[in-house]
Structure 1
């Protein structure tokens, strides 16, 4: 029998049978692991051993194979070839590297696409996407799923008991990169989905409001996926919400199906995941619940964002990793990793700057600080041909020289040894941090609905979320981005930013949470519609009125070049995005009022006590977030919870007994570290892209 190779960071232990497969691969005492994508099919086989040996020498603990290699595994229909993959898996094992094996379903082979073109997706303009690139096959195609089932089964059968393989990744960034599938496969499945949801066409007509503009359908066969190309104006908003939910269900079903096949055929010590692009149509992590845990992809320096200060474009913004960490940590399995993180310059941005020296290292530490199990960088070697020639790897184009990012990964691998030596398994979150904990409710249906019906060109749903997220992180508050599946009672504070779609059951849960001592914060647009995006046949946002102590409200917008004013305390704040103008009920405190417009002195922010807790409603959305930050600081102060005041771009987290601070700004930042603290990495004076880790 083949002997197990015991690797400290990825240890299979006979004493750990009670652990989950994820914890067996990534033991808590090892804290964190580093991995790297490798594409043996891109390189001459004579170079495989050299490359994998180098990977191991750098401190990389696992590698990642085969998500784009279906044509190599099944070069002809029904003829499978795993010999080449067996050789490279064996070489990884030889050098102590564990393997994440991937299902190759984002890239079907050309024989499949050409023989069965009905598996391909179709754009909204009627053009069928041709073979090539990736993510061009329809999740709604029964034929495609049949071939997927076969290749996934053959892979699981072949590697399901290979001790070098610790886990499985399903597909790669499933999502069709934002392209909605309008193929006949999807049209048929959409009609089935609608029929299952509504039962009768009369019910669909009622929910969609189809009596208006003579949109009424006589049977489900007449319904098509809503498309801007097929109507002179925007499609029906209820149909669009159902389109997004349907596509998210199709994606989730595609991933969950593969997870079920793997589960039947792999060893119980092998785990299953998939890597998702966060907050990206049609991805909804809450629907993908058959894997053991989820991972995500993130590229921070791509020319799309200016960042903070004159070098911010080389650093990225902290919420890109922070918000995703705090969301994926609370998905299925309560564990996460980052499966793709850039090791340097990329090739597909609006422009492609070099990251600031140290930025790659800082990003890795940000994932560590957020509780991640690992970071796997994309990719090990910079390719010499094909679509990603200018995408950096950890190794430069000569195949042997470490890139700047590769050196930073090697640095992190060494520094982790120091942290492991200092780890105390008896650690627990300090009381002042536990008192600041807050759950942030986020739901993709709300995101889809508000992005389609923004009502003002100054409304952006995710930046609204990020504004509250960033101000909470400036308080050094531990944040969990959660779904409604979670128990709210463990959080001293709960915030539901712009939670537009809800029902009475959720309001009842919020009410119980507050009555039992929780502090609930609601913001503008919350509760305006039911789950089907219908306005209530009642005053606007009626279901939350009693909870929030409101008797009525309406909303207002301003032009981009004009500003309204809000008074809060002894300060005045400008707004022109969104204003809920509130009429409070008796006994509700008015914290902020509008200083002008025809509703001058009307309430902008209200606060009430309910049972043992409180409800705060923040009705105004500003650009700079100063009003929202000051209101939230008062909420914390009145609840007796301390806060810090970190500048935007300075991140401070606590994990497993360690404090970690990061600097995303272009300026030097001084971090307040107690004199008694033991600094393990770095120092209190943080250069841009700097990292400091300490214990108190």
Structure 2
């Protein structure tokens, strides 16, 4: 009966998960399409045809153009020149290459910055960001919006009905690379945003808790942007939370306005997206569900994040492409990898050469994560500029394939061969889809917990990604959703560190569980209300009746001071966070602390509620082994088996095939069944190797 309930839920999921535009823009039969960035403005005109012809001969199916070309489109204010660009468009058409065009908002021409300095962003030190790089414009600038609408209108009118243009990218990596704007115009916008939200300054004072430290305001115009550089001690956390919400809203509006401009003129067959960066938390892609979908940028090897084992720094972390694909697909049900690393880069802290085969592995990872297209920055390695050490598909001579170029060429050939097999009619394996889980996302929780960490070991995004990675290691299909989605479409739902809640979300969680869902909550969940206040009641009382337990207090340990947790006969380490739990009668203890002064106190609980279950995981570890053991138990109790992949091995199912990728530094065996038919590769995988197989009917 339990399995039938899960099966019926999956039917509901299958009818809601894929939006209609997925097939409209990206037919399943294509599996994925591959493109590359090209910058004709960087090269002599006489080389354009050679380059575009070579791009086509490599097997690429589209080129990406124009995101940094505003100064060539409009060299002087109001004087436009698109004739050179027309020639590039014609060359692409000649060689059967489709085109992704971009709005050039990330890099305006010098005349705009010099003549209208009010468009420039200001950093936390009060320094105006000047012309000479990129992303120096304020998202709040009305003047900039005016000029942007003009250039975007010109582009849309000229190319919006061109049948060779398949889509548009808004801006480029909209993020200000994690920085915030403190300009006068941004402050004015922030004050107006606050007036709309709170109506009265008295209400703002209440929500911001301005009685603390005598911060209280008499009127809205007294409010400044919260800026630690201006203060002796810490910023008001409630003011900062609102400013982060506002900034994310401004970034979303910046893209939405461009979307509306393009949509007035372009064909319905042309899609519009942007290439977000999930590591920069000043932008929230889920605020841009008005775009056709969200795409992303990914550079796995740049020294910032090492992978597994001795060669992990060259292979990249196993989780990054997988998480980014699921995260951005959650916005509108479709995603694409708009900018993927082509090889060695120049801007990292350590610009390693990627391990041989790793770039092809990343490409297969993007396909396996259901990316509808994959595009690389860039075709030619630049000869000048900040990124002239940045590899491309070809080297400085403009013709010789780089190692990455060869791997792209191989992957493109493999995908085209795979298309010939007509694999997309295969049904999702029921033993895979039955384990489907949704991860609940709200950026507010990251913003709030990361400001009031309580321990330097805490990182909200890392906590979220860790659970995603643990689920993938069990070969569990994951969707990432926000509160606008229907929870009942998923047999399993997890809300990691969901700190800011209200009565409404608790009621939804309760109803979800009572109707047969399996809910998982992790540490810090339910501590505060939506305004980041503690309710005037016992700690985490908001979720007491849901989880069947009280949170007595919490603790944490330094990195080198690992505590012990016991589950049955197994011992695990923890250190980042530890909720000390008092279970109610009828609530089952899953784990207890095995040392410290609270030895034998509860660390994780589960209970049945109606037709479903709710589990609370109160401890947080660095290695995730404890949390993984609880996740396995949850699935086992639901009558479902899980795999337990070796560290660094990733297995996904997409469009009729299984794909296994080895991100580890050692040889591993992929879980190809005896009846599985291997299409590409071998069951035994060396580092960076891939195997693709199909289950036999």
TM beyond 0.5:
yes
Cα pair 1:470 1:648 within 8 Å, conserved:
no
Q: Which residue of 2 aligns with 1:450?
A: 449
SS in 1 for 2:660: strand
Distance 1:25 1:584 in 2: 51
How many Å apart are 1:22 and its aligned residue? 5.5
Could you tell me how far 1:565 is from its partner in structure 2?
A: 2.1
**Structure 1 equivalent of residue 380 of structure 2:** 381
Cα deviation for residue 26 of structure 1 reads 2.6
**Structure 2 Cα separation of the partners of residues 680 and 587 of structure 1:** 51
Q: For 1:267-282, list aligned pairs within 5 A.
A: 267-282=267-282
CA distance in 1, matches of 2:351, 2:630: 39
Q: Say whether the 8 Å CA contact 2:100–2:166 is kept in structure 1.
A: yes
Give 1:294 shift: 1.0
1:60 aligns with 2:60: yes
Q: CA deviation at 1:81?
A: 0.6
Q: CA deviation at 1:551?
A: 3.3
Whole-angstrom CA distance in 2 between matches of 1:331 and 1:36: 24
CA distance in structure 2 between the partners assigned to 1:165 and 1:560 by the alignment? 52
Alignment partners' CA distance in 2, 1:149 and 1:466: 37
Task: Give how far 1:563 is off.
Answer: 3.1
Aligned to 1:321: 321
Aligned partner of 1:612 in structure 2 is 611
Tell me how far 1:24 sits from its aligned partner.
Answer: 4.3
Deviations 1:460-497 (A, max 9, x none): 11222222222211111111122112211121111111
Q: Which residue of 2 aligns with 1:627?
A: 626
Structure 1 moving runs of 4+ over 6 Å: none
- Measure, in 1, the Cα distance between the counterparts of 2:592 and 2:281: 37
Structure 2: gaps (5+ residues): 1-18
In 1, the alpha carbon distance for the partners of 2:429 and 2:74 equals: 54
The equivalent of 1:437 in structure 2 is 436
* Separation in structure 1 between the aligned mates of residue 639 and residue 675 of structure 2, nearest angstrom: 26
For 1:401-427, what per-residue CA distance to the aligned partner results, in whole angstroms no more than 9, with x for missing partners?
Answer: 111111111111111122112233432
Name the counterpart of 2:23.
Answer: 23
Give the alignment's Cα RMSD to 1 decimal: 1.2
Conservation of the 8 A alpha-carbon contact between 2:113 and 2:120:
yes
Work out the CA distance in 2 between the residues paired with 1:53 and 1:94. Answer: 9
Cα deviation for residue 279 of structure 1 reads 3.7
Q: Give distance in 2, aligned partners of 1:229 and 1:634.
A: 47
Aligned to 2:486: 487
Match of 2:416 in 1: 417
SS of 2:645's equivalent in the other structure is coil
Contact 1:661–1:691 (CA<8 Å) still a contact in 2? yes
Aligned partners of 1:593, 1:543: CA distance in 2, in Å? 23
Partners of 1:524 and 1:619 within 8 A in 2: yes
Cα separation, 2, equivalents of 1:624 and 1:561 = 13
Moved more, 286-295 or 44-53: 286-295
Contact 2:551-2:579 within 8 A present in 1 as well? no
CA positional deviation for 1:20: 5.9
378-387 or 301-310, larger mean C-alpha shift = 301-310
Aligned residue pairs, count: 677
Is 1:521 matched up with 2:510? no
Q: The residue matched to 1:187 in structure 2 has which SS?
A: helix
1:692 equivalent to 2:663? Answer no
Q: Distance in 2 between matches of 1:568 and 1:21?
A: 46
Shift of 1:564: 2.5
Preserved CA contact (<8 Å) 1:21 1:268: no
Q: Is 1:175 the counterpart of 2:195 in the alignment?
A: no
Q: Distance in 1 between matches of 2:641 and 2:651?
A: 15
Match of 2:13 in 1: none
1:577 aligns with 2:576: yes
SS at structure 1 position matched to 2:538: coil
For the residues of structure 1 that align with 2:409 and 2:561, how far apart are their CA atoms? 52
Aligned equivalents of 2:444, 2:155: Cα separation in 1: 35
Cα separation, 1, equivalents of 2:344 and 2:279: 23
Q: Which whole-Å CA distance do the structure 2 matches of 1:167 and 1:231 have between them?
A: 46
Specify the SS of the correspondent of 1:259: helix
1:571 and 1:412 map into 2 onto residues whose CA distance is: 43
Q: Does the aligned pair in 2 maintain the 1:256–1:289 contact within 8 Å?
A: no
In structure 2, the residue matched to 1:225 is: 225
Q: Take 1:666 and 1:561, find their aligned partners in 2: how far apart are those partners? A: 26
Aligned to 1:75: 75
| Distance in 2 of aligned mates of 1:20 and 1:265 | 22
2:201 aligned partner = 201
- Corresponding residue for 1:511? 510
CA distance in 2 between partners of 1:652 and 1:154 (Å): 45
> Does structure 1 residue 86 correspond to structure 2 residue 83?
no
* Distance in 2, Cα, partners of 1:663 & 1:50: 37
Q: Which residue does the alignment assign to 1:340?
A: 339
Query: Which residue matches 2:11?
Result: none
Higher deviation after alignment, 281-290 or 660-669:
281-290
Contact 2:276 2:296 in 1 (8 A): yes
- Counterpart CA distance in 2 for 1:679 and 1:114 is 60
Distance 2:23 2:146 in 1: 33
Distance 1:597 1:407 in 2: 55
Deviations 1:310-362 (A, max 9, x none): 11111100211111111111212x11101100110000010111101111100
CA distance in 1, matches of 2:601, 2:660: 41
TM-score, normalised with respect to structure 2: 0.96
The answer to whether structure 1 residue 290 and structure 2 residue 297 are counterparts is: no
* Structure 1 residue 155 corresponds to structure 2 residue 155: yes
Question: 1:614 & 1:624 partners in 2: Cα distance?
Answer: 26
Between the aligned partners of 2:623 and 2:136, the Cα distance in structure 1 is 41
SS at structure 2 position matched to 1:137? coil
Deviates more, 1:405-414 or 1:423-432: 423-432
Q: How far apart are 1:552 and its partner, in Å?
A: 4.0
Distance across 2 between alignment mates of 1:489 and 1:279: 29
Aligned residues of 1:568 and 1:592 also touching (Cα < 8 A):
yes
Q: Quick check: 1:256 aligned with 2:279? A: no
Contact 2:450–2:460 (Cα < 8 Å) also in 1: yes
Structure 1 unaligned spans of 5+: 1-18
* SS of equivalent residue, structure 2 residue 274: strand
Match of 1:672 in 2: 671
Counterparts in 2 of 1:491-502, with a 5 A limit?
491-502=490-501
Change in 2 beyond 3 A, CA 1:20/1:110: farther
Structure-to-structure mapping, 1:401-412, within 5 angstroms = 401-412=400-411
1-structure distance, mates of 2:557, 2:294: 41
Q: Which whole-Å deviations, capped at 9, do the CAs of 1:29-66 have from their partners, x for residues lacking one?
A: 11110000001111111111100100101110000111
1:265 aligns with 2:265: yes
| Contact preservation (8 Å) 2:562, 2:573 | yes
1:130-169 alignment runs, 5 A limit: 130-169=130-169
Q: What is the aligned partner in structure 2 of residue 111 from structure 1?
A: 111
Give the match for residue 100 of structure 1. Answer: 100
Q: Secondary structure at the match of 1:265?
A: coil
| SS at structure 2 position matched to 1:604 | strand
In structure 1, C-alpha distance between the alignment counterparts of 2:563 and 2:390, rounded to whole Å: 46
